[in-house]
Structure 1
Amino acid sequence: MSVTMTEAAARHVTRYITKRGRGVGVRLGVKTTGCSGLAYKLEYADEVAPEDIVFEGHGIKILIDPKSLPYLEGTELDFVREGLNEGFKFRNPREKDRCGCGESFRV
């Protein structure tokens, strides 16, 4: 399995990296927190670390640490606009439950 990115997410990341003037892609991982146990963490990455597992979508690198990969396999990263709000959305087939506030999930 792999981790993928929609074209909309790739366009957003490309615009932001261009604006920043540096970056190789995004780093996606999970951290222990919240009501359901895990939360996604997403940040722009300026370099690939030796331990990173690298996927690529629409010309953008998606970097994942080996400990997070079992929780993220099959995930699709999207960028959506809903009304006045916009942001990244994670479509993770491994999610079994999500807390009411939507900040954390369980696999």
Structure 2
Amino acid sequence: MSDLFERGIDVKVLEGIAAGKHTERSLIIDLALDLAEDRRRDIVRKTKDGFEAAGRRGRAGGRRPVVDDNKRAAILARRQRGESIRTIAAGVKVSIGVVHKALTAAQAEQRP
């Protein structure tokens, strides 16, 4: 095909992902872009299908919660005793952010 391009002949693709008139450079670029776009579209579709299938099985996406009921109770009890968030995090073996989030959620639940 490069012989055609060397003679100054353009290539016209009639069907498919590279349909249209091309020079050598544009054909390569268009093919690469079209293949990448098709691949991305395929990944998005498969991901969406996977999430929908998981939802039908009762599964939710995302990480599992770090704080279960026992850790939540320990966090709240330690805070009631006046411990700092940093000390609570080290004692319960969770991050400071997790402790802060648990305390904020507990305060929100207490508000009417």
Q: Which bin holds the TM-score, normalised by the shorter protein?
A: under 0.3
Kindly indicate whether structure 1 or structure 2 has the higher relative contact order, using CA contacts under 8 Å at least 6 residues apart: 1
The structure carrying a bigger helix percent of its residues is 2
Which structure has the larger Rg? 2
The structure carrying a bigger strand percent of its residues is 1
TM-score (norm. length: structure 2): 0.19
